Chain A
Amino acid sequence: MSAAQAFFDVLWGARMALLGGLATTVLVSLLAVLAGTLLGVVVGLVLSYLRGPLNWLVRLYVDFIRGTPVLVLILASFYVLGTVGWKLNALQAGVLALAIFCSSHVGEIVRGALGAVPRGQTEAARTLGLSFPLTFALILLPQAARIALPAWVNTAAEIVKASTLLSIVGVAELLLATQEVIARSFMGLPFYVFAGAVYFAVNFAIERLGKALERRLATDTTQ
């Protein structure tokens, strides 16, 4: 039996475990990006519009999270939350850590995007008699969103890559599922290449999407 044949036999035998791992990777990433984006928009709004203690507190949060490696966030969330009486399983603790990581990045993206909308836009809206909530919803938000979109897509790809770190605390996502197959079959080389190729495919697709969006959106904002 050739090596390739042996690899495909093991691959076929483990297809359910690997597909389950991929599904977990996708689920974890989606949840983390979703929760992280919601929280990150709030963070960005506070950083852009509030002054005083709350602003400093959020600034500290963002700088602290951005200065800490994701792996440390995941390990801390996994070990610490149980100790303080918040019973989360590894998957929940991991999603929480990724969401917090995501929120700090999205917060900075949102702040940057809102800052990049020319002041004249707000002034014009005010002159037309729009209240601040209306100015924000109708004038600032649509323009900031298109500025933020490419960076946000990049963050999503970062989260997919960071989700591999959950394997270290025992979440059976794609990498851990692959490692379990390797432990049984001793086929480290082809299966690491396989896992790498799957992640590459997912992230490459996300990257292309980001580039396409960037091209589409970049055209008429600079007029």
Chain B
Amino acid sequence: MGYTLNFAAVWRDIDLLWAGLAMGLLLALASIVVGAVLGLLLSFVLISKSRARPLAAAYVSVFRNTPLLVLVLFTYFALPQLGIRLGKIESFVATLSLYAGAYLAEVFRGALLSVPAGLSEAGLSLGLRPWQTRLLIVVPVMLRTALPSLSSTFISLFKDTSLAAAIAVPELTYYARKINNESFRVIEVWLVASLFYVATCVLLAMLLRLFERRLALPK
């Protein structure tokens, strides 16, 4: 076979991989923030008896059952035909946020149902308005319940940012492919790129777990 490992080409461009990793984290961060707001709004609709409920349920179902790559390509290549023209990064963040919103809506819905009804009753009887009760009392408690799922969603979003390479957003997978095509150090590039991903996921999981432990609801 005669393949000798030689990491020189990867080392030379290691800065690109770091930059790609940073881009991936930023994309995931932007998407989880927007997605969480969207998911929160959707989850309140999902547990309500409002007429918008089937719409919210349909939204969640469509985004959960359509492949992310199709959504990414649709936003970037098809929406301009409707006059909605977004840059590569904006278009990817928009797609990933809408996608995250659908997943988080389900997560938050479950967590909302686990918040004891007594809390909102107490809020209302103190004279808070319904929206104040939700925002100041129910949501903080709900978020603490939802935190573990929120962190695992963040980690999957980070892995999903690899799809941004399909529309040439310069993130980790994009640069790995670029180095691969320019240097042909195939094994080295993919080994290092996947180590970057794995190490980041493991570190994120550890960090988020610390955070979860601090914020966990007292038993």
Contact = CB atoms under 8 A, between A and B. Distances in A.
Interface of A: 63-64, 66-73, 75-76, 79-80, 82-85, 157, 160-165, 167-168, 175, 179, 182, 188-189, 192-193, 195-196, 199-200, 203-204, 207
Contacts of A82: 186
A76 B194 contact: yes
Contact of B78 (A160, A163, A189): A189
A68 B66 contact: no
Contacts of B187: 80, 83-84
Interface in B61-84: 61-62, 64-71, 73-74, 77-79, 81-82
B interface, how many residues as a size bin?
35 or more
Contacts of B79: 189
B62 A72 contact: no
8 contacts: A63-B202, A67-B159, A69-B173, A76-B190, A80-B190, A175-B69, A199-B65, A203-B66
Interface in B172-197: 173, 176-177, 180, 186-187, 190, 193-194, 197
A192 B1 contact: no
Contact of A192 (B65, B73, B173): B73
A164 B197 contact: no
Contact of A69 (B64, B78, B159, B180): B159
A79 B82 CA distance: 37
Contacts of B162: 69-72
Contacts of A189: 78-79, 81-82
Contacts of A157: 65
Contact of A199 (B70, B163, B190): B70
Chain B CB within 10 A, most for which of A72, A188, A207:
A72
B180 A200 contact: no
B201 interface: yes
Contact of A84 (B1, B65, B78): B1
Contacts of A207: 61, 64-65
Given A71-B173, A72-B176, A83 B186 contact: yes
5 nearest CB pairs, A to B:
A67-B198, A69-B162, A203-B65, A76-B190, A67-B201
Contacts of B186: 79-80, 82-83
A164 B163 CA distance: 11
Interface of B: 1, 3, 61-62, 64-71, 73-74, 77-79, 81-82, 159-163, 165-166, 173, 176-177, 180, 186-187, 190, 193-194, 197-202
A175 B69 CA distance: 9
B1 A196 contact: no
B165 A71 contact: yes
B173 A164 contact: no
Contacts of B199: 67
B74 A192 contact: yes
B202 A69 contact: no
Nearest to B194: A68
B67 A67 contact: no
B78 to A, nearest CB: 4
B73 A161 contact: no
Contacts of A199: 65-67, 70
A179 B194 CA distance: 28
A179 B1 CA distance: 37
Given A71-B173, A80-B190, A175 B67 contact: yes
B66 A196 contact: yes
Contacts of B68: 161
B166 A195 contact: no
Contacts of B64: 203, 207
Given A85-B1, A164-B70, A200-B65, A192 B197 contact: no
B70 A195 contact: yes
A79 B180 contact: yes
A67 B1 contact: no
Contact of A72 (B61, B69, B193): B193
Contacts of A168: 69, 166
Contacts of B180: 75, 79
